Amino acid sequence: MPTETKSETKTDAKAPASPFTSFDPMTAWTTGQAAFHQMMTDAMARFASFTDDVAALEHQMMTRAQGAVASWAQLTQDAIAYGAQLSSQARTLGVESARKFQA
């Protein structure tokens, strides 16, 4: 029966390595800071895009509001002119009726 040597038994029964032996806190810090920096850069880019969209919508709103005010002003001018025309016609009809009544 063959006998085992001490060197053979040591290589077969290795102890598992600790998961914390390769942990480097400075690398973890640097990686975390880089990730945070990228997250903030992306957030600022999205915020800038959002403010550009809001500015475009605000411009559309102002343009539409100015158009609406111009339309209302035109409608008001037309209503005043129509009121003046009706008043003139009413005076003319009143004078004609008074003449017919006299005759």
CB atoms within 10 A of CB 80: 10
21 lies in some domain: no
Tally of structural domains, the chain: 1
Domain span at 97: 76-103
Mean pLDDT, rounded, for 14-26: 72
Does the pLDDT at position 14 exceed 80? Answer: no
pLDDT of residue 7: 52
pTM of the model: 0.52
- Over residues 35-50, the pLDDT tens digits come to 999 999 999 999 999 9
Lowest mean pLDDT among 16-20, 42-46, 66-70, 90-94: 16-20
- Please provide the size of the chain in residues: 103
Q: Phi and psi of 17, rounded to 5°?
A: -75, 145
94 lies in some domain: yes
